[in-house]
Amino acid sequence: MARYILKRLLILIVTLWIVVTATFFLMQVLPGTPYNNPKLSASAIAQLNSSYGLDKPVLVQYGDYLLNLLHGDFGTSFQYQNQSVSTLIGQRLPVSAQLGLQALVVGVLVGLWFGALSARHQNQKLDGFLGVLSTLGISTPSFILAIMLLFLFGYDLGWLPVSGWGDSFSQTILPTLALAVGPAAITTRFVRSEMIDVLHSDYIQLARAKGIGEDQVIRKHAYRNSMIPILTLMGPMTANLLTGSTLVENIFSIPGIGQQFVSSIPTKDYPVIMGTTIVYALMLMVMILITDICTALVDPRVRLN
């Protein structure tokens, strides 16, 4: 098991280096400059380039960035003067993490329940209804759902706040629901498929023949053996939440790193763009690593392969 974890850690480090390298050089080819003030003279721009280290050769800048990154330094923001990117991300990361965690928990729990209901009522009206819901949930982008929820429950009915974060728990409900629909739909489809196979297996038939109640069969046998596919889905679902939360945070004016990332693109704040991209990639890869380890613990065949 230790060898398996070390191998996965090595893959994580190499992948992160590739992301950092690709993002850095892509920033170099973006058109325009971060200095949008037309009143800046050529000498003032040269002084700014010198202070930010942009007057050095690209490879030297790349080497300096990697060295600073090893010390946890993402550089200084162009948009927020004298503000380190690490500080900016550190202030907003807990908000994005809370939103993503809430959406993941709600989505998985609802998906487990709907998937089990759908499997137990296979080819019946409830199964068909849940199938249509899950298809709509998968095909509808989270930002479209966010706008629909915003207008329905925020503006039309006035039940929930339409923006902000931190003043009350009610402010988290609409963005959480907008992000949770996708994971719930995906989990429903996979749990249904896996549980149908499990419910027709020999050991389930034997448990029923022994007189064990259907609820106990589902709870003690079918659910546990349907969990492995869900564990493998956690990484991709986390990726969807991370990319989806960027627009959702902007729609609901949530002060997370997604909103900061969106606002840094028009201003060409390269250090913030890079820092946010690296944090997103690291969060995703750590989640995939945890998923792989959990899968290996549940199914030893994974680490043997």
CA 159 to chain centre: 27
Q: Report pLDDT digits (tens) over 155-207.
A: 888 888 887 787 788 888 889 998 998 888 888 888 888 777 777 776 667 66
Report the DSSP beta bridge partners of residue 84: 76
Reported confidence tier of residue 27, pLDDT bands at 50, 70, 90: confident
Q: How many CB atoms are located within 10 Å of the residue 127 CB?
A: 17
Between the two ends of the chain, the Cα-to-Cα distance in Å is 12
Neighbours of 108 (CB within 10 A): 20
User: How many CA atoms does the CB half-sphere of 148 hold within 13 Å?
Assistant: 10
Question: What digits encode the pLDDT tens for the residues 220-257?
Answer: 666 666 666 677 777 777 766 766 677 888 888 888 88
Helix residue spans in 142-172 (DSSP H): 142-149
Q: CA nearest 292: which of 14, 4, 10? A: 4
Res 255: pLDDT = 84
Mean pLDDT to the nearest integer, 120-149: 85
Confidence of residue 279 (pLDDT cuts 50, 70, 90): confident
pLDDT digits (tens, 9 = 90+) for 86-133: 888 888 888 888 888 889 889 888 988 888 888 778 788 888 888 888
Class of domain 89-298: mainly alpha
